[in-house]
Amino acid sequence: MRDVAGWKNDWLSEAVRTMALASNRRFKIRNWDRDKIRAMATLKDDLKHAWILATYSSAASVTALLEGIPVACCAGACYGMGVRLIDIEQPIFPKDRERFFGVLADAQWTIEEMRNGTAWRALSMTN
């Protein structure tokens, strides 16, 4: 977080402290994992009973929104689709999620990848 996002302190400790002030809920902390396939393998199970997914900036927030779980994000693709960490007890369910996912999908593949079927193959692998 210090090198990439310019966060001067311990983001996780600050985030937990902020959320603890806002809520009496228990938190499950998923440590960062370089192996994204392994991390994603357990994400949907972790989201099954989640109130909200809180993150600085993560692809996990996109998955949470797709699964109908609200998010609290500090930056990244889902920033603006959720609430601030201090507001986790008042989650929002964005009305323009379909448009958001359309814009996100538009940025994932080139026109040629859409033409040659790469995009459709990738989408069908995720279902």
* Residue range 105-115, pLDDT digits in tens: 778 888 899 89
Same domain, yes or no: 82 and 41: yes
Tell me: do 103 and 46 sit in the same domain: no
Domain holding 48, by residue range, is 1-92
100 and 88 part of one domain: no
One domain, residues 22 and 82: yes
Residues 102 and 43 in one domain: no
Q: Are 60 and 33 in contact (CB under 8 A)?
A: no
114 and 88 in a single domain? The answer is: no
Q: Of 23 and 78, which is predicted with more confidence?
A: 23
Query: Do 13 and 58 sit in the same domain of this protein?
Result: yes
Asked whether 79 and 57 are in contact (CB, 8 A), the reply is yes
CA-to-CA distance for 16 and 23, rounded, in angstroms? 10
Residues 106, 87 share a domain: no
Q: pLDDT, tens digit, for every residue of 49-65?
A: 999 999 887 788 888 99
Mean pLDDT (the chain) is 85
pLDDT value of position 17: 93
- Residue 41 to residue 67: CA distance in whole angstroms: 14
**Count of domains in the chain?**
2
Q: What is the pLDDT of residue 32?
A: 79
Whether 75 and 127 share a structural domain: no
